[in-house]
Amino acid sequence: MERRGAQRRQAEQALGLTAGLTAEEIQRYGRHLCLAGVGEEGQRRIRSARALVVGVGGLGSPIALYLAAAGVGVLGMADPDVVELSNLQRQIAHGTDSLGAPKVESAAHRIGDLNPGVRVDAVAMKLGRDNAAQLVAGYDVVVDALDSLRDRFILSDACVAMGRPMVHGAVSGWMGEAMTYVPGRGPCYRCVFGGATDVAATDVAAADVVVRDDDCPSADGACAGLEEDGPEALGVLSSVPGVIGAIEATEVLKLITGAGEPLVGRLLLWDGMRMKFDQIEVKADPACRACGGR
């Protein structure tokens, strides 16, 4: 028993969980410290966590800001785009002064003002088959704030291969959805949106995540997820990404602290027009080429 206790203390020290909060942190995170499910231990876990937000647009903006405000120790952001005027209707991490600047740099500047205690890893890079596994490898939890079904499959498959949890979200018009994947506990994104496939489940090597161009059917087919800013330039109410982004950030903080019940095996649907939430129970697909129903 004593030996196990010593091993646990060593592991906590390696994670930085035993280091006390500073006076500034106690003041900054006071509303967390008195909150059931977080408290001082939870805040230390948040401070020690490494979270990656892929996409810093409508969804990624509130996600990154809320995670930074919560005090996530290392916040990675990946996005290849620059800030455009049409983004400012909903992408609240950016401002008029950031027009033409890389989104990751614009968001990093905003986060630096919001919480200078957060270390930001800004990666102005397009997610692809060749870099997805390497990108997610350095983080504890990954957040999908993408606007492309194909890119979501790439990111999800990389998370499965690397054993990283992924929080998914998507919006369109007045609606949004969210779901959380935790390795070994429920379906991955491909299980839910990949549709039936006659391709046998493959053992995807962590360093070589392969997703073919035909892995994602058309949006009107079996993987009809919601788009944030797809090629059809679908409309979206300015506040809708904020709602779903806040839900995604909440899921991340729950995974980090161990509090509550994450959206594992549940697809949350939100209809802003009718102000109604629904959820659908979803299960792992034994024929899934990414996770094989693990």
Mean per-residue pLDDT, 135-164 = 96
* Averaged confidence pLDDT in the chain: 86
Three-state DSSP at 32 gives: helix
Residue 264, amino acid? V
Catalytic residues: 216
Three state DSSP letters for 153-215: HHHHHHHHHHCCCEEEEEEEECEEEEEEECCCCCCCHHHHHCCCCCCCCCCCCCCCCCCCHHH
CATH no., domain 49-281: 3.40.50.720
Q: Which of 122-126, 196-200, 253-257 has the lowest mean pLDDT?
A: 196-200
Q: What torsion, rounded to 10 degrees, do the Cα atoms 31, 64, 147, 236 define?
A: 60
Mean per-residue pLDDT, 49-63 = 98
The answer to whether 91 and 115 have CB atoms below 8 angstroms apart is: no
- Report residue 241 CA to chain centroid gap: 13
Give the domain ranges of the chain: 49-281
Kind and range of the H or E run holding 34: none
Q: What torsion, rounded to 10 degrees, do the Cα atoms 225, 62, 82, 217 define?
A: -10
Give 243-285 pLDDT, tens digit per residue: 999 999 999 999 999 999 999 999 999 999 999 999 999 999 9
Residue 120 has pLDDT above 60, yes or no: yes
Q: Which of 82-86, 227-231, 267-271 has the lowest mean pLDDT?
A: 227-231
The answer to whether 259 and 73 have CB atoms below 8 angstroms apart is: no
Question: From the CA atom positions of the chain, what is the Rg in Å?
Answer: 19
Burial 220-237 (b: 16+ CB within 10 A, else e): eeebebbbbbeeeeeebb
Taking the model in full, what pTM does it have? 0.84
Confidence of residue 137 (pLDDT cuts 50, 70, 90): very high
Mean per-residue pLDDT, 112-128 = 97
The answer to whether 226 and 148 have CB atoms below 8 angstroms apart is: no
Residue 215 has pLDDT above 50, yes or no: no
The answer to whether 139 and 194 have CB atoms below 8 angstroms apart is: no
Distance of alpha carbon 117 from alpha carbon 94, whole angstroms = 20
What one-character DSSP code corresponds to residue 19? S
DSSP assignment of 250-292, as one string? Answer: HHHHHHHHT-S---BTEEEEEETTTTEEEEEE----TT-TTTT
Distance of alpha carbon 151 from alpha carbon 168, whole angstroms = 12
pLDDT at 190: 95
Distance of alpha carbon 192 from alpha carbon 35, whole angstroms = 34
Kind and range of the H or E run holding 51: strand 50-54
Sheet-wide strand order for 74-78: 119-123, 74-78, 50-54, 141-144, 166-172, 175-181, 266-271, 276-281
DSSP assignment of 61-128, as one string? Answer: HHHHHHHHHHT-SEEEEE---B--GGGGGT-TT--GGGTTSBHHHHHHHHHHHH-TTSEEEEE-----
